[in-house]
Amino acid sequence: ILPSIPHGSSGINAEYGGLRNKREVWRVKYTLAKIRKAARELLTLEDKDPRRLFEGNAILRRLVRIGVLDESRMKLDYVLGLKTEDFLERRLQTQVFKLGLAKSIHHARVLIRQKHIRVRKQVVNIPSFIVRLDAQKHIDIAINSAYGSGREGRVKRKRMKAGAGGAGDNDEDED
The CA-to-CA distance between both ends of the chain, in Å, stands at 61
Could you tell me which of 62, 66, 60, 65 has the C-alpha nearest to residue 80? 60
Strand partners, 119: 122, 139
- pLDDT band per the 50, 70, 90 thresholds, residue 12: low
From edge to edge, which strands make up the β-sheet containing 122-123?
A: 122-123, 117-119, 139-141
The pLDDT tens digits for 103-153 are 999 999 999 999 999 999 999 999 999 999 999 999 999 998 888 877 778
Looking at the predicted structure, is the pLDDT value of residue 167 above 80? no
Q: Which residue has the higher pLDDT, 171 or 158?
A: 158
**For residue 13, what pLDDT is reported?**
60
**DSSP code, position 132:** P
CA distance 90 to 132: 8
The pLDDT tens digits for 22-69 are 999 999 999 999 999 999 999 999 999 999 999 999 999 999 999 999
Burial bucket for residue 91 (CB in 10 Å: 0-12, 13-18, 19+): buried
The pLDDT tens digits for 78-90 are 999 999 999 999 9
